[in-house]
């Protein structure tokens, strides 16, 4: 059998890209430039994984990756290139609990422990690794503090309360709550590096940071919040996650969940993200969340400001790019391309509104009277 030529694969890729108004070798910021003709067969054979890996390998470039991905996702080209591995991953996810207790601490060394110096140069001054709130903000620092104030006003924090932060990162939110709202905070994370630096950053404040999985919690709190951690829980564990929160929340307490969300229910994550950025991660859908808290909590408020994540991610990318010289001694050029692809492609996905950002407030039995939604 005669092998299929590069020209045939190129024709297929060009045809698909035309739906997104992307041209190979064009002059617009979202057009792509190919340096290795094997790119075409690799993308057709491996889909999203091949697209990201070939960029990491320097096989193609694009001036504006974020806008390229936005156009790809907005026209749903990702759904037109399905490979056999995608079907196998879905089947396997039905059989395996990737986020079970024995895997709880895997994500730390694979993502959050790759260098505090990298995150210090990329994030805001409080090192908050989640979406900012840009309603009245003009800088990243302002957007992140506005996000924290939004959360703590929704939770009606009051001095003297004992508060739990599930997935506390480097302690930025816990420290802010203790400093600005006069509460005591326990924060848990599965990253050793985050605990070590977070304890330094929160020194002198009533904040206790622990290296701990949420399933081992067994104490009561007036308020509980979780920012950007639920994406690591996995759909097989959503119900038990809400059971832990219910067990740990005092009577008349409030719980706020801040999470990326998907408009469509999925049981697997993007294969490139799974392989290189967030192993064993999964973005929940509204249906999955609603099923998980059924008969456990009263839904008080559901707020979507997913478009703000596009802006947050592009600020992170600019910080990363502008400070590359200060951190590159610990990484190589392939890491730079990987991280650039990660930040800009995620920005494009939020711009295309394929991903959302939800803040959801729960009470156990319903707030007496009316819960006052905060925006």
**What DSSP designation does 283 have?**
P
Exposure pattern of 59-82 as b/e (b: 16+ CB <10 Å)? bbebeebbbbbbbbbbbebbeebe
CB of 248 within 8 A of CB of 242? no
String of DSSP letters for 190-255: S-HHHHHHHHHHTTTSSEEEEE--GGG----EEEEEEES-GGGT-GGGHHHHHHHHHHHEEEEEEE
Q: How many Å apart are CA 43 and CA 54, to the nearest integer?
A: 8
Helix (H/G/I), strand (E/B), else coil: 262: strand
Residue 21, sorted as left (phi over 0), alpha (psi -120 to 50) or beta, turns out to be left
SS percent in the chain: helix, strand, coil, step 5:
50, 15, 35
Q: How many Å apart are CA 297 and CA 180, to the nearest integer?
A: 28
String of DSSP letters for 141-208: HHHHHHHHHHHHHHTT--TT-EEEEET-TTSHHHHHHHHHH--EEEEEES-HHHHHHHHHHTTTSSEE
> Which pair of tokens denotes residue 71?
């156009």
* Among 168, 202, 248, 346, the one annotated catalytic: 346
Is 346 labeled as catalytic in the residue annotation?
yes
Q: How many Å apart are CA 166 and CA 247, to the nearest integer?
A: 14
- Continuous H helices in 37-83: 39-56, 65-74
Cα dihedral angle (62, 67, 68, 69), rounded to 10 degrees?
120
Q: How many Å apart are CA 321 and CA 334, to the nearest integer?
A: 14
CB of 216 within 8 A of CB of 188? no
By annotation, the residues acting in catalysis are 346
């Amino acid at each position: 059998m005669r092998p299929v030529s590069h020209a045939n694969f190129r024709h297929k890729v060009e045809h698909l890209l035309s739906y997104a108004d992307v041209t190979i070798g064009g002059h617009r910021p979202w057009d792509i430039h190919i340096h290795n003709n094997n790119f075409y067969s690799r993308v057709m054979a491996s889909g999203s994984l091949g697209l990201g890996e070939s960029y990491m390998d320097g096989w193609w470039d694009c001036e504006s990756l974020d806008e390229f991905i936005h156009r790809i996702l907005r026209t749903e080209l990702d759904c037109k290139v399905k490979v056999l591995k995608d079907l196998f991953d879905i089947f396997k996810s039905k059989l395996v609990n990737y986020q079970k207790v024995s895997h709880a601490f895997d994500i730390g060394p694979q993502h959050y422990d790759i260098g505090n110096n990298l995150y210090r140069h990329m994030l805001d001054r409080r090192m908050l690794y989640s979406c900012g709130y840009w309603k009245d903000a003009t800088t990243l620092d302002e957007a992140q503090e506005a996000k924290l104030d939004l959360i703590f006003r929704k939770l009606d924090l009051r001095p003297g309360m004992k508060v739990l932060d599930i997935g506390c990162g480097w302690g930025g939110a816990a420290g802010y709550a203790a400093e600005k709202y006069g509460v005591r905070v326990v924060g848990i994370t599965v990253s050793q590096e985050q605990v070590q630096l977070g304890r330094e950053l929160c020194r002198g404040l009533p904040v206790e940071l622990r290296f701990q999985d949420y399933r081992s919690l067994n104490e009561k709190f007036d308020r509980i919040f979780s920012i950007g951690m639920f994406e690591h829980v996995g759909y097989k564990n959503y119900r038990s996650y809400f059971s832990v929160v219910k067990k740990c929340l005092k009577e008349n307490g409030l719980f706020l969940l801040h999470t990326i969300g998907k408009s469509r229910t999925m049981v697997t994550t993007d294969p490139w993200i799974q392989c290189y950025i967030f192993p064993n991660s999964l973005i929940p859908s509204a249906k999955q969340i609603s099923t998980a808290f059924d008969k456990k909590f009263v839904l008080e408020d559901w707020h979507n400001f997913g478009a703000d994540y596009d802006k947050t991610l592009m600020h992170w990318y600019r910080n990363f790019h502008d400070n590359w010289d200060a951190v590159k001694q610990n990484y190589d050029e392939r890491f730079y391309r990987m991280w650039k692809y990660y930040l800009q492609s995620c920005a494009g996905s939020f711009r295309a509104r394929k991903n959302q950002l939800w803040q959801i407030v729960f009470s156990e039995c319903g707030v007496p009277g009316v819960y006052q939604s905060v925006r």
